[in-house]
């Protein structure tokens, strides 16, 4: 396979997965928008976490909420749990890496808040610990996963929302996660600004 064919195959694979996810994830994503808007409209906040590329996605999502997505509006209450290096290194050193997010959920999470937990494998130990902490504090969970959902998919409650990308390749899952996060931002803005 030459390089052009290899690159073209990425486009074909991505297009096929986008079409599949349009059918399977639009409904759960709409439910996620409703949950996020409800939290924000009732003095709640959004906490977001993930590792590596998922940490970057969490940070990007929160930046769109605190700053703006596509239109001017008031800033929205959101915090990225993977961005504060002092907290991450202190908790990682003193308590272990698995607790870097759960410590923050326990410190910041309140009933009515929402945790957006991102893990392409569904098996990230520190994200699992964050979800456990969220459940103990009556914080609703929106989980973005792939690869069948992993351990995270199995631990979610009926009140949680699972956006599981039906694919096994990390890069494809991350592409859909970013699309979903942008769709959530757009849906939040549409509801808060009266477009729906």
Over residues 16-73, the pLDDT tens digits come to: 999 999 999 999 999 999 999 999 999 999 999 999 999 999 999 999 999 999 999 9
Evaluate if pTM is beyond 0.85: yes
Length of the chain: 196
Annotated ligand binding at 119? The verdict is yes
Annotated ligand binding at 120? The verdict is yes
Annotated ligand binding at 53? The verdict is yes
Annotated ligand binding at 182? The verdict is yes
Angle at alpha carbon of residue 97, lines to 94 and 100, rounded to 5° = 85
Annotated ligand binding at 92? The verdict is no
Report the chain's C-alpha Rg in angstroms.
17
**Rounded to whole angstroms, how far apart are CA atoms 188 and 114?**
14
Q: Where do the domains of the chain lie? A: 3-192
Over residues 166-191, the pLDDT tens digits come to: 999 999 999 999 999 999 999 999 99
**Rounded to whole angstroms, how far apart are CA atoms 123 and 139?**
20
Annotated ligand binding at 60? The verdict is yes
- The hierarchical CATH code for the domain 3-192 is 3.40.50.10490
In contact, 151 and 122? CB cutoff 8 Å: yes
Annotated ligand binding at 135? The verdict is no
Annotated ligand binding at 51? The verdict is yes
């Amino acid at each position: 396979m030459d390089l052009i064919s290899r690159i073209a195959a990425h486009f074909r694979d991505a297009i096929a997965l986008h079409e599949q996810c349009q059918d399977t994830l639009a409904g759960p994503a709409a439910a996620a928008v409703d949950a996020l808007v409800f939290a924000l409209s009732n003095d709640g906040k959004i906490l977001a976490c993930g590792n590596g590329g998922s940490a970057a996605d969490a940070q990007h999502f929160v930046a769109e909420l605190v700053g703006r997505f596509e239109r001017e509006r008031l800033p929205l209450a959101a915090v990225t749990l993977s961005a504060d290096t002092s907290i991450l290194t202190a908790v990682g050193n003193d308590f272990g890496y698995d607790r870097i997010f759960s410590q923050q959920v326990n410190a910041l999470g309140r009933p009515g808040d929402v945790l957006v937990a991102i893990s392409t494998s569904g098996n990230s130990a520190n994200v699992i610990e964050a979800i456990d902490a969220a459940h103990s504090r009556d914080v609703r969970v929106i989980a973005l996963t792939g690869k069948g959902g992993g351990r995270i998919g199995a631990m979610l409650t009926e009140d949680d929302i699972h956006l599981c990308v039906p694919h096994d390749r990390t890069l494809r899952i991350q592409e859909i996660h970013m699309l979903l996060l942008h769709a959530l931002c757009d849906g939040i803005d549409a509801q808060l600004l009266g477009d729906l």
